[in-house]
């Protein structure tokens, strides 16, 4: 295949995953994030990279957002929400974070392939992404030409960007307003 053929196939895969996300769950996700006093974001590997981008965009909106594990991340409280990105929903460190969030009474949102996972069962809202991953219980049921969990990781990133757009609309914000909070020490 050439680059155009690969691009068309990847775009078709992304269209499938993004259009299969439950709209009510997406709206609930946006509402929980919007209502939270502080938003804590966690993920491992490439999912961790994606959720860091979400935390950054929340900061651009003026929200108190943090990445779990960073030195300057405070403790989560009952008026916070923990957003976890995990294809399997079983990553041990993320399960521990989810348990701690629930112990203090915080909300928990999971973006995953596996809504029946350990974290999924604890979550207040689950965003299911229908993508294959070597660590998923659905391995082999969903096909992708992309390696490993690439389709999931791309889809979760795009879903979080869509959630940001929904938050922007809800809070009457635009890119110009948000750009005022963009880093100026690059």
Distances (CA, A) of 139 to 37, 113, 126, 130, 133: 37, 10, 19, 11, 6
20: which 2 tokens? Answer: 């299969």
Distances (CA, A) of 24 to 11, 28, 97, 108, 127: 24, 6, 25, 16, 10
**Can you list the alpha helix ranges (DSSP code H) found in 20-126?**
23-35, 45-60, 92-103, 118-122
Query: Does residue 27 have an active-site annotation?
Result: no
Q: What are phi and psi of 181, to 5 degrees?
A: -100, 5
Q: Which of 78, 153, 156, 186 is catalytic?
A: 153
Tell me how far apart the alpha carbons of residues 122 and 186 are, in angstroms, rounded to a whole number.
Answer: 39
Residues annotated catalytic, as ranges: 153
């Amino acid at each position: 295949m050439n680059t155009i053929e690969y691009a068309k196939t990847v775009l078709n895969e992304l269209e499938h995953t993004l259009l299969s996300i439950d709209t009510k769950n997406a709206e609930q996700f946006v509402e929980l994030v919007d209502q939270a006093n502080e938003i804590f974001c966690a993920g491992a590997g490439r999912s961790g990279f994606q959720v860091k981008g979400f935390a950054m965009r929340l900061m651009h909106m003026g929200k108190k957002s943090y990445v779990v594990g960073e030195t300057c991340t405070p403790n989560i409280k009952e008026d916070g929400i923990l957003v976890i990105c995990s294809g399997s929903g079983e990553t041990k460190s993320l399960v521990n974070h989810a348990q701690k969030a629930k112990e203090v009474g915080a909300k928990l949102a999971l973006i995953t392939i596996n809504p029946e996972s350990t974290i999924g069962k604890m979550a207040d809202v689950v965003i299911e992404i229908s993508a294959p991953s070597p660590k998923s219980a659905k391995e082999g049921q969903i096909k992708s030409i992309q390696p490993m969990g690439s389709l999931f990781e791309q889809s979760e990133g795009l879903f979080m960007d869509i959630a940001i757009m929904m938050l922007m609309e809800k809070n009457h914000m635009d890119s110009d307003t948000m750009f005022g909070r963009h880093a100026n020490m690059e």
